[in-house]
Amino acid sequence: MKKLNRRTLISLSTNLILGVILCTVFLLGFTGGGVVSIYGERKNEPIYRGNTQSKKISLMFNVYENTEIVNSIIDTLNGYKVKATFFVGGCWADDNEITLKKIVSSGHEIANHGYFHKDHKDLSYENNVKEIKNTNVVVESLCGVMPVLFAPPSGSFSDVTLCAAEDLGMKTVMWSKDTIDWRDKDINKIISRATKNLAGGDLILMHPKAHTLSALPKIIEYAVSNGFIICSVSENLL
């Protein structure tokens, strides 16, 4: 058998090492839940929970409609002296300055839910930035608050969305409990979904629906009676 010279051996070894590295990157891209940067860095991950070492939980309201119910939700929260986070759509905020200011003056948190409720997963980087930034501009101009949290409409996002939000200095927020109140009008189901196995750090997703408003007192009473602190998402992240 012909012996391989030193240069050939080095070349084969180098190619083998490169092959192993490329295969590893390729496999991680499919097993790690997303695209892995070739430089070993990942963009900011979405947040699904707050501080699990605490007794803090958060009520999150995604708002694009039903202003009258939004106002009643604020009144209910104020009556129980608890704070929530309202992720507002830019096009809704633009038409509802009074309610926007009421959210802020009541001590609740204003956050960003995109401008036109688009599917951010299918948007380019530039359009992700546009949807998020335009909402921030409207909110700040109307009530003087610059949102720092972003919740993608329908929970749909891509790595590009995460990059866009991060480049705007924002954290992307999802949820740990979904009441699915936009679909189901059963008050008992909404209460159960919000309170079952309730734990510190939970982020509970809701919308301004009449049945959600009816369920809200029971959800608050259950949480408080079990020693939980209902606070804004930003406070829950501390």
Q: Tokens standing for 92?
A: 């809704």
Identify the bridge partners of residue 85 per DSSP, sorted by sequence position: 60, 109
The share of the chain scoring above pLDDT 70, in percent, equals 82
The pLDDT tens digits of the residues spanning 94-123 come to: 999 999 999 999 999 999 999 999 999 999
pLDDT at 12: 44
Q: Among 9-13, 131-135, 153-157, where is mean pLDDT lowest? A: 9-13
Superfamily designation of domain 56-236 = Glycoside hydrolase/deacetylase (3.20.20.370)
Q: Which residue has the higher pLDDT, 134 or 21?
A: 134
Average pLDDT over residues 175-190: 97
Tokens 């090492």 — which residue? 17
**What pLDDT score was predicted for residue 31?**
34
Cα(214)–Cα(153) distance, integer angstroms: 24
Q: What's the pLDDT at 44?
A: 76
Distance of CA 13 to the CA centre of its chain: 46
Please write the tens of the pLDDT for every residue from 198-229: 999 999 999 999 999 999 999 999 999 999 99
Q: What are the boundaries of each domain within the chain?
A: 1-42, 56-236
Can you spell out the DSSP letters for 17-46? HHHHHHHHHHHHHHHSSSPPPTTS--PPPP
Q: What's the chain's average pLDDT?
A: 87
Rounded to two decimals, the pTM is: 0.82
pLDDT on residue 27 = 40
Cβ-contact 61, 206 below 8 angstroms: yes
> Would you say 19 and 25 are in contact if contact means Cβ atoms under 8 Å apart?
no
Q: Find the range with the poorest average confidence among 29-38, 151-160, 186-195.
A: 29-38
Pairing state between β 56-63 and 203-206: parallel
The three-point CA angle 75-84-97 to 5° equals: 65
pLDDT for residue 196? 98
43 band by pLDDT with thresholds 50, 70 and 90: low
